[in-house]
Structure 1
Amino acid sequence: MAAVVMVEGETAEAEQAAAVCQALSRHINCLGNESKSSRRRALECIRAGTVEQPLPSGVQQRLLAYLLRPLLGSLSDPAERCRELAALTLADFLRAVPRPFEALPQLIPTAVQRLGQQDVTEPAEELRLVLLQLLVLTVEVCGRKLASYLEDMVKILQRTIVDPFPEVKKMSCECAAKYAKCTPETFHMQSESLIKPLMQTISHQHSKVRVAVIQATGTVIQYGNGKSVDDVLSHLAQRLFDDTPQVRQAVTEVVGSWLLELRDRYSYFYKLIPLLLSSCSDEIPCIRELATDYWRKIGLQWQQENEDDLKDKLDWSAQLSIRYPAGVERPCLGCRELVFRNLSKVLPAVSRDMTDWVPATRVKASQLLILLLLHAEDHITQHMELLLSTMYRSCSDEETSVVQNSVKAAELIGTFVDPDVFLKLILTALEKSASTAHLIVLSAVIRGSSVQVLHPHVLRIGATLAMPDTCQASQKVEYLEHLLGCVQILITVCGKQCSEINLPLLKVLVTIASLMPDQELENKVEKTLTSLAAAQNLDNFLDLYRQHISELIGWVADKQHQWTNYSVQHLQFETIIIQSGPVLGESLHEVFPVLKTCLQPNRDPEMRLKVFTMLSKLLLNANETLDSQGHFSSYLEMLVRDILVPNLLWHAGRTAAAIRTTAVSCLWALLHSKMITLEQALGVYEDLMPKVIAALDEDSKMTRLLACRIVSSILKVCGNHLNPDELNKLYPELLKRLDDGSDEVRIAAAKALSVWFQCAGILNDQSLMKNHLEFLYRGLLVHLDDPESNIQKLLLDVLKIGSFLSPSLLTQEIEAVKHKHRSPYYCEQLLQHIQALNGDAS
C-alpha cells in the first residue's frame, strides 16, 4: 500500500514539475536572446517560478535537473546581472533539493571553467565571490560526494586563494577548510597543492585575510598531509610578530590544535612547541591565556598517552626536590617532559634567534628561553655551555628587553643548576677575558641561587672578582657598575658568609672607586661598604677598614717602586687613604713609607702631582684623618724633610711647577692645621725656609700666595726664636711681593710683614736693625700711595704695627715722601698714630 502511495506521490510531483517546466519553457528560450534585458527578465521569471515558490523538494529536484544546463550556461552570460541571477538561483536550488550532489557532474566543470582556468575566468570580482559562495554551499550540502572532484576543487582553490579581491581570498580559505573536513579520505592526496598559494597570501595587507589563511592552513594540514608542516612553520613563526592580535591568536589556535590533534604531532613537537610557548608571553592577556590553556591540555594529553613510561616520575613529582622561583606555578609533568625531551633540538635554534639582526626576533627568542628553562629545570645542566655563550652575547644587546630577559634566564640557571657547574664555566670565562656580559650573567646566577648552595664557593667567587684581570679589566662606567652589582648581589644573597671574603670584596670596591672618580658611583660604593658591614653586624664600614687596612696597603704597595701615572695601584692607594678616614691614624707606620717612596723627585711627575693633591686634602682635615690617634707628630719631620722639601726644589716644566704648587699646598695645610710644634718648626727651618723663599718668585700665583701665607705662619710659630740674620733674609722677599701682579699676593705679603714686625720687636739690639728698618719703611711708604685704597689701608695698618720699632726713623721717612704722595691723608694718619704712640710712651 505504501509503495502505491509513493508511486502516486512521485507521479503527482512529476506532473507538477512538468507543468512548471512547460510554463517556464518560453523563459528558457529567451535565455538565448540577444537582448540583455530579455535574458535578465527570463532569469527573474525562472527564479520567481521555481525557488521562490513553496514547491515540494521532489518537484524542485526535477526542476533543477531540467534547468541545470541553461542556468549553468547563463554563468557565461555577457551581462553581470544575468550571471549573478543564475548563480543565486543555483544556490537556492542546492539548498532546496534533497539530492544536490546530482548536479555535481555539470556544476563542478562549470565552476572550474569560471574560476579555475588561466584564461577563461569570471572578470567581475563580486561575481567571483558569489560563485565561491555557491561553491562553499556545494561543499556544505554535498559533503563526501565531492571526494571524486578533488583535482577540480584543488584547481579552483589554487587560483582563488591568490585572487586579487580580499573577500574572494577569505571565502576561498573557508571553502578549502570545509572541503578538507568533508573529504579527509582523499583530500590528503592533493592537500600539498594548496600550501603554496596559502603561503603566498599569508602576508596579505588585510589582517582578516591573514587570519583566514592561517585558519585554513591549520585545517588543510590537519586533514591533509602532515608533511606540509615544514613548509608553513617559518611563515607561521613570522605571523607571531604580527601587529594585529587576531592574527597572533589565529596562529596560537592552529599550533595548539596541531599539537593536540595532528596525526604525526610527535614528529613535529620540537618544531611546534616553541611557537606555542612564544604565545605564552604575548603582550595580549587573552592570547597568553589561550596559549597557556592549550599547553596545559597538550601536556596532560601527552602525560596520559605515555603514562606507563612516566609512572615513576608521576609518583615522585608530588614531592618537589628542587628550589623553584617564588610566585611561578610549576608546569605539569607532561609539559616539563615534552620540553626536556625536545630541548636539545630547540635550544640551538633559540640561540641563533637571540642573535638575529631583527630586534623583535631577539626579544621573542629571549622570552621563549625563559619558558624553556622553567620547564627543563635541572635538565638544563647538560646544555650549560650553549646557554652561557648565548647569554654572553644577548646581555650585550642594544635592546633593553633582550638584556632583561637574558638576566631572568640566568637567574633560572642559578636556581636549577649546581653552582659547581655554572661557576666553573662563568669564572673561567671571567679569568680569561672579563667583559660586562660575564658580570651581568654572574650577578644574575648568584641572585637566582641561595646561600646554602653558594657558601662553599664564596672564596673562589671573591678571589676571581678581586683578580686584577677582572676588577681592572675596564674603566668604562658600565663595566664598573656591573662589577659593583656582582658585589652587591653577593652581599645580599650570602650575608654573613661574606665575612670570609671581606678582603677580596674590599679590594674590588677600592678598585671601582679608584678607576672611576664619579661622585654617584662613589656613593654607591660607600653604600655597598655599609651593607657589607651591616651584614656582619659591624657599626660601619670603617670597622672593615680597621680589620684589613694593613693588608690593603700591603696589597697596593707591593710594587710601589714601579708606580707611574698609569698605574692603578697609586689610585687604589689614594682611595684607601681617603675612605679609611680616622682609621688612617692607626696605620701611619705603613702609610708614610709608601708616601715617602712614591713622592721622591725622581718618580713619575704626574703621579706625584695626584698623590700630593690627596695629601693636601688629608692635612686640611688632619684631626680626623692622619692625627685621629694623636700619633701624627712623630711623622712630621719625615713629611717635611723627606717629602715636601725635596719637591720644592725648582725644576723646569709645567708639571714640575704644578708639583711645587701642590707641595706648597701641603705645607700650608700642615701649618694651617696648627699641628706643628715650635721645636719641630725650628728643626726643619733651615731646610725648609730657603725653598719657601724661592717659592715667592714662582710663576704660579697660587704658589706665591701660599708661600706668603706659609712665611706668615712660620713666623707666628717660631719667629720669636729666630736670630736677626734669619729675620732679615725674609723681609726683602716679602717687600718684593708688594709689587706683585695679584692683589691677593700683595695682601698676603703685607700681612706677613705685619707678623715680621712683631717678631723683630723682641730683638734686644735695635741699632742692628736701623738700616733694615730704613729700607723697609721706605719700601712700605711707596705702597702707602697705592692706587688701590684697600692696599693703602692695609699698608697703613702694617706701618702702624711696625712704627714702634723706630718711631723717629719712620717720622723722618714720612716727612721725606709726604709731599710726593697724591694725597697726604694716610701719611697724616700715620704721623698722628706715631705722636699718640710717643705720647703714651712718655
Structure 2
Amino acid sequence: MATTDGEQREASEVFQAVARHLNCLNDDSKFTRRKALVAIQQEAQNKRLSSGPLQEVFAELLRPLLRCLTDPMEKCRELAIQIISHCVGNVPRPEEALPYLIPAVTQRLGNPEIVEPSEELRLALAELLTLLVEVCGKKLVPYLDDMVRILQRTISDPFPEVKKESCKCASYYAQSIPEHFHMQSESLIKPLMQAISHQHSKVRLAVIQTTGAVIQHGNGKSMDDVLSHLAQRLFDDAPQVRQAVTIVIGDWLLNLRDRYSYFHKLIPLLLSSSTDEIPEIRKLAQSYWEKIGLQWEKENEEDLKDKLDFSVLPPSPYPTGVSRPGLGCRELIFRNLSKILPAISHDITDWVIATRIKASQLLAVLLLHAEDHTTQHMELILSTLYRSCLDEEQSVVHSSVQSAEMIGNFVNPEVFLKLNLTTLQKSPLASHLMVLAAFIRGSTRDRLKPHLSQIASVLSRPEICQGSEKVLYAEQLLCCIQSLIHICHGDCEDISLHCMKILITILARPASEQLGEKVQEVLMSLASVQGLPDLLDLYRRHIQQLLEWASSNHQQWTSYSIERVMFEVVITESGPVIGENLHLLIPTLRTCLQPTQEPQMRLKLFTMFSKLLAKAKETVNSQQQFHGYSETVVKDILVPNLKWHAGRTAGAIRTIAVSCLWVLLQSEVLSEQEVFQVQEVVLPQVIATLEEDSKTSRLVSCRIIQSFLKVCEQRLDPDTLNKIYPELLKRLDDASDEVRVAAAKTLSVWFKCINNDYDRTTYKSHLEFLYHGLLVHLDDPDNGIQATVLELLKEASFVYPSLLVQEIEAVRHKHRTPAYCDQLLQHIQEFKSHDNQSGAS
C-alpha cells in the first residue's frame, strides 16, 4: 500500500530525529551507545507515530539495530531486541525484515554453542521469534531450515523459560505452515524428547503440547520415536502433565491424517488415562474415547451397517457398575486387540510397579470392550493373568482378578475350562486357581451347570488339592469352592462329596490354622444350599465315602502322610457321627497302631484317639456301640503299644497309650465285666510301665491299677495280687510326690482286694514284706506322705493285725517321730477291742 505525503513527511521527521543517534551506535563508549538506543526506543515507540511511517523508519533502523545484537554491553543488546520486537509487532509489513532478521537471530541462537550468554536475552529473542511466527505466518516458509535450526537449539536451552517459549514458537510455526513443516518436523523430535522429562512440570507440559502439534502437522514417521516418551508421562506426578498427554493422544486419534495406522499404539495410551486417579482426567479420556468411537462409526458406516441396524443386546451377565462402550469403541478394540495384547502381556511383568499397575488396569478396560471377541485371544490373556495374579502389588492382583471375572462374563465355560484345567493339571499354581475362581464368579449358574462335575473332579484330584503347602494356594482353592457354591447354589449337591474332599484337604494342610474359620463357613454354605440344617448332617451324608477315601492307603501311612491328617480331620470334625461308623474307624486304627508301624505316625494317631476317648459320649460312643469294639481296642491296639521298646519316641508312645487306657477306663464306656475280662492281658503291661522314665506314665499307671483293683475287688487270685504290690511299693520311693501318693492310694485299694482265698499263713512273708516297707515311709521326711501312709496302714491293719504289731514294735525305736507308730498301735488295739466285743455279742 502506497504511503501518503503526510506519512512520508512524518517518517522523514522521525528518521532525522534518530539519525544522529544512529551514528552514536558505533561509538566506543558503551554509555553513549546505550543512551542512543534509549532515544531511538522513545522515538520508535512514540504513540503518535502511525504504522505506515514506522514501517519506513524500521527499514532504516533494522540493520543498525541488528548490529547491536552483538554489542558487548548486555543492556544495549536488550534495548535493541525491545526496539525490534516493538517494530515487528506494529509495522504493517513485518515480513520485509525477515531477510535480515532471521539470519541475525540464527547467528545468536542457532549455533551449536551458546552465543548469547544472557538467559534473559535468549528468552527475549525466543519471544521475538514467536512474534515473527504470529505476524508473518506463511511468509516464514523460505526460512524453514533456519527456524528449525534455531528451535532445535532453544528447545534444548538450559534456561527453562527459553524451553517453554521455544515450544510455544514451534507449535505456532507448525500450525502456520503445515504444507511445508513436515519436511523438517523430524528434526525437532530429538530435542523435544530430551526435554520431555525436564524437572519442571511446566516445561514437560509445554514439550508435550508442542509434540502434539509437531506430529499433527509434521511427519507421522516420528510417531514411534515419541510414543514411549508420552507413555512414560502417563506416570507423571503432575496431573496437568498427564492431562496434556491425554489431550494430545485424543487429538491425534481424532485428527491425525494417518491415524488408522497408529490406532493400536495410541488407543492403549488414551484408555490408560481412563483409569487415572484424577476424576477430571478420567472424564476427559472417556469423552475423547466416545468421540473417537462415534467418528469411526461414521467413517465406516458401510462396514457396520448390519450392526447399526440391528443393535445387539449386551451379553448376559454383564459386569456390574460399568456402562457398555459404544459400537465404534468396541469395534476399534475388536480390530486392534491382537496388536495391543502382546505389549500389555510384556508390561504387566515390568520391574516398575507403576507400569504393572497401568498394564493390569488397561487389560480390564480392553476386555470390557472385547466382550466375546476375547475368546480368540484366550491363550495369551490367560498366560498373562497367571503371571499378574502372583504379583506382589495388590492393585495389580485386583485388576487381574477383575479381568478374569470379565472373562467369566463373556467367554463360554467350555473354552475357558479346556485351557485352564489343562494348565492346572500340568503345573498347579495359586494363580491358576485364582483365575478359575474369578471366572466362576463372573459366569452364571446355567452356564456352569454342565461343567460342575468336571471342575469339582479336577480340583479334588490329589495332585491338585494337595498341589502346594503355601497359604495362598490353599486360599485360592477355597475360593474356587466358595465361588461354585455362591453361583451354583443347589446344583452343588451333585458335587458335594468332591467339595468335602477338597475342604478337608485344606484343613489338613499346615495353612489350615489361618483358614480354619473360612473353611467352616464354606462347609456351612455347602450344607445350607443342600437344605441340611447343620454340618453334622453334611458329614453324616458323606462320612463313609470320606473315611474310605482318606484311609484308602492307610497301610503305607507315615508321619508325613497327608492322608493320615485328612483321616484325623474327618474323625475329629464329624463329632458324634463317627460313633455311627466304628466299623470303618477301628480297623484302620488297629492296622496303623501296630508296633511295626512308624513310631511318629503312631504317636500322632494316639494323640487324636486319646482326644476322642476323652469325649467318648460325644464322639466314638455317641451311639452306645463302642463296647462292641472295646476288646479290640484294648488287646489289639493299646496293649501291644505298652510293651517296652528302646528309644524316646517309643517311650512317648507308651505314655500316650497308657493315657488312652486311663481315659478309656474313666469314660465309663466299658462295663465292669468287660474290664475284668481284659485285666489278665492289661495288668502285666501296665505294671511294667510303673518303671517308665516318664512321670506321667508312672502316675497314670498307678491310677489304672487302682481302677482295675476297684472293679475286680474280691475276684483277683492271690498270685495276681502278689505280683502287683511289689511294684507299687517301689513307687513309694518315686521322685515325684504325686506318684508316691497315687501308689499309696492304690495299695489301699489292694488291701481291700484280699479275700478268704488269701491265706494269711501261706502268704505271711508277703504281708510281712509289705508291712515292713510301708512302715519305712511312716517315718518319711514329708509330713504329707507320713499322713497318707498312716491312713493306708490303718486300713491294712485288718488283714493281719498281730503281724503288723510285731513289725511296728521292731521299728518304733528307729523312727525319728514314734508318734505315728503309737497312733497306729492304738488304732489296732481299738480295732481288736471292737472286734472282740462284736464276737462276744
Measured against the shorter chain, the TM-score band is over 0.9
CA contact (8 A) 2:794 2:827 kept: yes
Structure 1 spans left out of the alignment, 5+ residues: 1-5
**TM-score, normalised to structure 2's length?**
0.97
Partner of 1:597: 591
Q: Answer whether contact 2:748 2:796 (CA < 8 A) is retained.
A: yes
Paired AA for residue 396 in structure 2: V
Deviations 1:533-588 (A, max 9, x none): 11212111111111111111111222222222232222211111111110001101
Secondary structure class of the residue paired with 1:249: helix
Matched residue, 1:153:
147
Give the equivalent residue in structure 1 for 2:623. Answer: 629
Deviation of 1:795 after TM superposition, in Å, equals 2.1
Provide the rounded CA distance (Å) in 1 between the counterparts of 2:607 and 2:583: 21
User: Is 2:62 the counterpart of 1:68?
Assistant: yes
Q: Which amino acid aligns with 1:737?
A: R
Listed as ranges, the matches of 1:782-801 within 5 Å are 782-801=776-795
| C-alpha distance after superposition, 1:783-810 (max 9, x if no partner) | 2222223222322332233233334433
Q: Is 1:189 the equivalent of 2:183?
A: yes
Q: Distance in 1 between matches of 2:113 and 2:160?
A: 21
Q: Note the residue ranges of structure 2 that are not aligned, 5 or more in a row.
A: none
1:259 aligns with 2:253: yes
Aligned to 1:617: 611
In 1, Cα distance between the equivalents of 2:18 and 2:556?
116
Secondary structure at the aligned position of 1:719 is classed as coil
Which residue of structure 1 aligns with residue 807 of structure 2?
813
Tell me the distance in 1 between the aligned counterparts of 2:181 and 2:710: 112
Provide the C-alpha distance between the structure 2 equivalents of 1:689 and 1:211, rounded to a whole number of angstroms: 94
Q: What corresponds to 2:331 in structure 1?
A: 337
Tell me the distance in 2 between the aligned counterparts of 1:551 and 1:315.
58
Residues paired across the two proteins, number: 836
Which residue is 1:515 aligned to? Answer: 509
Work out the CA distance in 1 between the residues paired with 2:754 and 2:537. Answer: 51
Asked if 2 retains the 8 angstrom alpha-carbon contact of 1:174 and 1:212, the reply is yes
Greater displacement, 138-147 / 764-773: 764-773
AA of the residue aligned to 1:41? K
Q: Which whole-Å CA distance do the structure 2 matches of 1:607 and 1:505 have between them?
A: 27
Q: Distance in 2 between the 1:59 and 1:357 partners?
A: 66
**What is the alpha-carbon distance in structure 2 between the residues aligned to residue 467 and residue 545 of structure 1?**
20
Partner of 2:103: 109
| Distance in 1 of aligned mates of 2:511 and 2:217 | 69
Distance between the aligned counterparts of 2:373 and 2:45, measured in 1? 68
| Alpha-carbon shift at residue 28 of structure 1 (Å) | 0.7
Give the equivalent residue in structure 1 for 2:673. Answer: 679
Tell whether 2:699 aligns with 1:699.
no
Residue in 2 that maps onto 1:403: 397
Cα distance in 2, alignment partners of residues 791 and 217 from structure 1: 100
Which sits farther off after the overlay, 654-663 or 812-821? 812-821
Question: Which secondary structure does the structure 2 equivalent of 1:746 belong to?
Answer: helix
User: Aligned-pair distance for 1:415?
Assistant: 1.1
Q: Report the counterpart of residue 433 of structure 1 in structure 2.
A: 427
2:32, 2:757 → 1: CA distance? Answer: 145
Match of 1:3 in 2: none
563-572 or 87-96, which moves further after superposition? 563-572
2:242 — aligned with what?
A: 248
Q: Is the 8 A contact 1:147 1:183 kept in 2?
A: yes
Q: How does 1:105-504 map to 2 (within 5 A)?
A: 105-119=99-113, 121-317=115-311, 319-504=313-498
Deviations 1:577-622 (A, max 9, x none): 1111100011011111111111122122221111111111111111
Residues 838/301 of structure 1: CA separation in 2 closer, same or farther (3 Å cut): farther
Q: 1:59 corresponds to which residue?
A: 53
How far apart are 1:311 and its partner, in Å?
Answer: 2.0
| CA shift for structure 1 position 318 | 5.3
What is the SS of the residue equivalent to 1:669? helix
- Assess, with a 3 A threshold, how the Cα gap between structure 1 residues 583 and 86 changes in structure 2: closer, same or farther: same
Cα offset for 1:84? 0.6
CA contact (8 A) 2:315 2:410 kept: no
Once the two structures are overlaid, the 10-residue window that deviates more, 512-521 or 69-78, is 512-521
The 10-residue stretch of structure 1 (366-375 or 529-538) with the greater mean CA deviation from structure 2: 529-538
Distance change >3 Å, CA 331–CA 779, structure 1 → 2: same
Is residue 2:796 matched to residue 1:780? no
Q: Deviations over 1:174-214 (max 9, x none)?
A: 11001111111111111111001111111111111111111
RMSD: 1.7
Letter in 1 for 2:352: V
Give me the whole-angstrom Cα distance separating, in 2, the residues matched to 1:358 and 1:120. Answer: 38
Superposition deviation, residue 834 in structure 1: 3.7
CA contact 2:577–2:619 (8 Å) conserved in 1: yes
Q: Is the contact made by 2:470 and 2:511 (CA closer than 8 Å) also made in structure 1?
A: no
Contact 2:130 2:168 in 1 (8 A): yes
Structure 1 letter corresponding to 2:412: D
Q: Does 1:717 align with 2:707?
A: no
AA aligned opposite 2:332: L
What is the CA-CA distance between 1:63 and the residue it aligns to? 1.2
Identity %: 61
- Which stretch has the larger CA shift, 241-250 or 314-323? 314-323
> C-alpha distance in 1, partners of 2:642/2:504?
31
1:635 is displaced (CA, Å) by 0.3
Distance 2:781 2:657 in 1: 34
User: Which among 569, 589, 602 is matched to residue 608 of structure 1?
Assistant: 602
Give the 3 Å change call, closer, same or farther, for CA 70–762 of structure 1 in structure 2. farther
Correspondent of 2:660 among 659, 666, 685: 666
Equivalent residues in 2 for 1:546-561, closer than 5 Å? 546-561=540-555
Offset of residue 135 of structure 1: 0.7
Residues 317 and 333, structure 1, Cα contact 8 Å, conserved in 2: no
Q: Normalization by structure 1: what TM-score?
A: 0.97
1:769 CA displacement: 4.8
Task: Give the letter for the 1:180 counterpart.
Answer: A
Pick one of 525, 528, 531 that aligns with 2:522: 528
Secondary structure of residue in 1 paired with 2:669: coil
SS in 2 for 1:805: coil
**2:469 touches 2:511 (CA, 8 Å); kept in 1?**
no
> What do the CA deviations read for 1:81-133 (whole angstroms, capped 9, x no partner)?
11111111111112211221111111111111111023572111111001001
Q: AA paired with 2:539?
A: Y
Task: Quote the Cα distance in structure 2 between the aligned partners of 1:517 and 1:82.
Answer: 82
Superposed displacement of residue 830, structure 1: 3.4
CA contact (8 A) 2:21 2:36 kept: yes
Residue 734 of structure 2, aligned match among 732, 740, 755: 740
Report the Cα distance in structure 2 between the residues aligned to 1:761 and 1:246, rounded to whole angstroms.
105
Q: Is the 8 A contact 2:317 2:443 kept in 1?
A: no
Cα deviation, 1:20-57, whole Å, max 9, x if unaligned, reads 11011111111111111111111110111121332111
Counterparts of 2:520 and 2:781 in 1: how far apart (Å)?
A: 53
State the secondary structure of the residue aligned to 1:696. Answer: helix
The answer (yes or no) to whether the contact 1:139–1:179 under 8 Å persists in 2 is yes
Following TM superposition, by how much is the alpha carbon of 1:840 offset from its aligned partner in structure 2, in angstroms? 4.3
Question: Structure 1 residues 135, 280: CA separation in 2 closer, same or farther (over 3 Å shift)?
Answer: same
Bigger mean CA offset, 700-709 vs 183-192: 700-709
Supply the distance in 1 between the matched residues of 2:53 and 2:576 (Cα, whole angstroms). 113
- 1:797/1:317 Cα in 2 relative to 1: closer, same or farther (>3 Å)? farther
Q: Which stretches of structure 1, 4 residues or longer, exceed 4 Å deviation after superposition?
A: 761-769
Q: Is the 8 A contact 1:677 1:717 kept in 2?
A: no
Give 1:753's match in structure 2, choosing from 737, 744, 747. Answer: 747
Question: In structure 1, what is the Cα distance between the partners aligned to 2:799 and 2:200?
Answer: 106
SS in 1 for 2:713: helix
Structure 1 distance, partners of 2:95, 2:555, is 103
Aligned amino acid, residue 512 of structure 1: I
Letter in 1 for 2:490: K
CA distance in 1 between counterparts of 2:783 and 2:343 reads 85
